[in-house]
Amino acid sequence: MPKEKARTYRSVWEAIEKDPIVALNLERRSNLLMNIQERIRKEKWTQAEVAQMLDTDQPRISNLMKGKINLFSLETLIGYLDKLGHPVKIEVGRPKKSRKLEHA
C-alpha cells in the first residue's frame, strides 16, 4: 500500500474544517476570544466582574474562559472587546489573486 503524502495546513482550523471560509471564521473568532481571555487574566478580573462589564452572566464568561468558541459569534466577541476597552480594527485587503465569481 503506498504511503499517503502528509498534508500541511495553514492553521489548525483548516485541518479540522473542510470549508475554508468556515475555517477562517473559526480562526478569527479564536484570535478574538484569546485576546479577551488574555485581558481578563492580565487584569485579574473575576468572572462575575467581567460579566457585569459585558452585560452578561457569569456562566457565559465561564464558557468564554473555557474556550467554547462555538458559543460566540464574531460580532459578540468584537462587542466584548469594545466594552473591555480594546476596540477591534477591521482591515479589508485586496485579493491575492484575481478570481471571477461564477454565476449560477
What pLDDT does 98 receive? 56
Residue 17 lies in a domain: yes
Mean pLDDT of the chain: 88
| Number of domains into which the chain is organized | 1
CATH number, domain containing residue 72: 1.10.260.40
What pLDDT does 4 receive? 74
The pLDDT tens digits of the residues spanning 51-88 come to 999 999 999 999 999 999 999 999 999 999 999 999 99
Residue 96 lies in a domain: no
What pTM, to 2 d.p., does this model score? 0.78
DSSP per-residue letters across 22-75: HHHHHHHHHHHHHHHHHHHHHHT--HHHHHHHTTS-HHHHHHHHTT-GGG--HH
Domain that residue 76 falls in: 12-83
What pLDDT does 1 receive? 62
Residue 5 lies in a domain: no
Residue 75 CB burial class (10 angstroms; 0-12, 13-18, ≥19): exposed
Residue 20 lies in a domain: yes
pLDDT category of residue 102 using cuts at 50, 70 and 90: low
Residue 45 lies in a domain: yes
